[in-house]
Chains A and B, each alone.
Chain A
Amino acid sequence: MATSNTAAAGVPPRTRPERWKWLGGTRGVDLIARLVTLAAALSVLVVMVWLVIELWQRSTLSRHQFGFHFLVDRFWDPVFGHFGALPFVYGTLVTAAVAMVISVPLGVGAAIFLAELAPRGLSDALTFLVELLAAVPSVVFGLVGIFVVIPWVRTSFGPFLKTVFGFIPLFQGPVYGGGLLTAGLVLAIMVLPFIVSISREILLSVPVELREGALALGSTHWEATWKVVMPTARTGILGSIFLALARALGETMAVTMVIGGTPQISASLFAPGYSIAAVIADQFTEATGDLYLQSLVELGLVLLGITVVLHAVARVLVRATTEKARGAA
C-alpha cells in the first residue's frame, strides 16, 4: 500500500480524460447537462455566501449600536436593551476547554491503540463502535446529560473534585449539577469520536517502512510509535483536535440542556453558565424587539466566524500531513 505514490495510496485517480472537453461541446444534450449540473454545483457556493450575507445584514442594528465592544461587554440585559456577548464567549470557550482537556489525551491514546498496537480485527470493531458514537444525535446526549450526568456530577463527581482539588478556585462554590463542568463533560464524549477516527486515519497513513525501520533497529513497539510515527503524524493529529474543537464550540442542543442557562462569568466550573449556541437556541423565539433579535444573530455570526476559521485551519493541517506521508512513501 505504501510502496508507491500511485492510486494504491488512496488518492482517487483523476478519471476524466482531457479530450472529453471536446465531446462535451459537440452535443446539445451534453451541453445542457453540463449547464444544469454546473448550476447545481454552484448552488452550494451560493448557499454559503447567502448565509454569510443574510447573517451580516440581519445583525446590522446590533453591530452599529455596540461595535466591537459587543464582544467584551459582560452584561446581557434584554429588559434594558443592553447586550454584551462576553458571558457567552466565556462559557463557550470554557466548556470547549474542559472538553478538550478530557477528550484529547483519551482520543489520541485510543487512536494510537487502534492504529498501532491493536490487532486488525479488534481495531476495526472498536473503530466501528466509535464511529457509531459520532452518529448519536445531539439531543440524545442532552437527554442523557440531564437525567444521568447532572445527578452524577451533583452527588458524586462534583463533591469528589471539591475534596481533592478544592484549593483551586475552579473547583470551589456550590455544586448544582448543571453547569460549565457538566457541559464540558458531555461535549468531551461528543467530540471524542472525531479525534479518534481522524487521528487513527492519520496514523495509518504514515508509511509502514518508518515503523519497520525503527523496529529493525531494536526499538519496542511503543518507541517506534512515540518516537517515529507520532512526530510524522503530529500536524495531522493537531488538525483532528482543531476539528473537534470547532465541533465543541458550535455544539448546541446537548450544551443548552445541561449548561444551566445563566449569563454570568464565574471562576468556578460548577457554576451554571451559557454558551453562544445555547443562548441562541434558548432565546431566539422569545426575543422581543429588533435589537434583541439582531444581537442574537450577531452572536450567530461570531460563532460562524470562529468555527469556520478553525475548521479551515484543521483541514489544511490534516491534508498537509496525509500528503507529506504519501510523498515520503
Chain B
Amino acid sequence: MNRLTWRRTVNAVMSVVTALCALAAVTPLLFVLGFLTVKGASSINWAFLTQLPKPTGEVGGGMANAIAGSGQLLLLAALFGVPLGVLGGIYLSEFGGWAVPLLVRYAADLLVSVPSIVIGIFAYAVVVVRMGHFSALAGGFALGVMLLPIVVTNTEQFLRTVPVWLREGSLALGAGQWKTIVSVVIPACMQGIATGILLALARVAGETAPLLFTALNNSYWARGWQQPVASLPVMIYEYALSPYEDYHRQAWAAALILLALVLLVNVLSRLVLARRMASRRAA
C-alpha cells in the first residue's frame, strides 16, 4: 500500500469511528425515551393524575399531590429567582461599571457549578433549621437559589443582543435611562428573556437532591406553604427504591410525565431561540 492510499484509508476509518462516537452520544437519549415510554405510558391514567398515593403496599392510587407539589415548588422558586435574576441581569448589562459585573458574573458561574446536594444543605441550614421543620418554602428557596444565577446570566446575554442604536434613539428623544430600558430595550428581547426563564425552570423542575431534606415528601395534599410537600422527582426516587412492583410502575409513569414536560419545554424554547437568531441574521 503506498503512502497516499494509507492516508486516505486512515481518513476514511477515522471518519467512521468518529461518526460511531456521535451515534453513541445520541443513543442513550433514544434508549431513555424508549424505556420510559414502554414502561411508563401504560400506567398513566386518570387515577394516576388525580388521586393521592395509596398507603404503602396497596395497589392503585396516583401522584396528584406530587404534580401539584412540583408546581407549588416551581412557583416559589420563580417568585424568588426570577425578579432578582431579571433585575440583576439588567444591572449587569445596562448599568454595570467594571468591577461589580465582573464579581457578580464570577459568583454566578460558581453558584451554577455548586452541586445540587450542597444547595440542599444550604437551604436546610438557612430555612429548615431556622423554621424548625421541613416545608415547601425551604424547597422553593433551594430551587430558587439554583434558578437565580441562570436567570441573571441569561437575561444579561439577551439584553446585550439589543443593538446600541435602539437605546441611543430612545435617549435622543429625551427618555431617561430607566424609561429606555423598560419601554425599548426589554420589549426588544422579551421573547428571549422569557424563553431563558422557561428553560431555567425546566432545569430545576427535575432536581431531586435539593428537595430531599428541604421539601421532604408528603403523602397528602400540602396544606399551605409551611408543610412538607411532595414533588415528582422525590416521588420517583422513593418509589424506585421501594420494594413494591406497583410503586415501580408508578415511578416509571411519573418519570415519563416529568421527562415529557422537560423535553417539551426544551424543544419549544430552542425552536423559538433558533428562529430569533435566524431572523436577526437576516436583518
Contact of A23 with B177 in the complex, beta carbons under 8 Å: yes
Contact of A117 with B18 in the complex, beta carbons under 8 Å: yes
In the complex, what residues of B have CB within 8 A of residue A142's CB?
Answer: 236-237, 240
| B127 vs chain A, min Cβ distance (A) | 11
Report, as a range, how many residues of chain A touch the other chain.
Answer: 35 or more
In the complex, what residues of A have CB within 8 A of residue B131's CB?
Answer: none
In the complex, what residues of B have CB within 8 A of residue A131's CB?
Answer: 266, 270
Given known A117-B15, A139-B233, contact A311–B109 (CB-CB < 8 A): yes
B267 within 8 A of A: yes
Q: Which of B14, B94, B114, B263 lies in contact with A135, CB distance below 8 A?
A: B263
Given known A54-B125, A129-B29, A308-B110, contact A222–B181 (CB-CB < 8 A): no
Residues of B within 8 A of A (CB): 7-8, 10-11, 14-15, 17-22, 24-26, 28-29, 31-32, 35-36, 39, 83-96, 100-101, 103-104, 107-111, 113-122, 124-126, 145, 148-149, 152, 157, 160-164, 167-168, 171, 176-179, 181, 202-203, 205-209, 212-213, 216, 233, 236-237, 240-241, 248, 251-252, 255, 258-259, 262-263, 266-267, 270
Majority secondary structure of chain B interface residues (helix, strand, loop or mixed): helix
Contact of B177 with A308 in the complex, beta carbons under 8 Å: no
A–B Cβ pairs within 8 angstroms, 15 of them: A34-B95, A43-B148, A50-B126, A117-B18, A117-B19, A139-B255, A147-B248, A250-B118, A257-B241, A281-B209, A284-B124, A303-B118, A308-B113, A308-B114, A311-B113
Contact of A220 with B87 in the complex, beta carbons under 8 Å: no
Given known A15-B163, A37-B91, contact A110–B22 (CB-CB < 8 A): yes
Residues of A within 8 A of B (CB): 12-13, 15-17, 20, 23-24, 27, 29-30, 32-34, 36-45, 47-51, 54-55, 58, 105-110, 112-114, 117-118, 126, 128-133, 135-144, 146-148, 189, 192-193, 196, 220-223, 226, 246, 249-253, 257, 277, 280-281, 284-285, 296-297, 300, 303-304, 307-308, 311-312, 315
Contact of B29 with A24 in the complex, beta carbons under 8 Å: no
Contact of B32 with A141 in the complex, beta carbons under 8 Å: yes
Contact of B29 with A132 in the complex, beta carbons under 8 Å: yes
In the complex, what residues of B have CB within 8 A of residue A27's CB?
Answer: 176-178
Given known A36-B87, A257-B240, contact A304–B114 (CB-CB < 8 A): yes
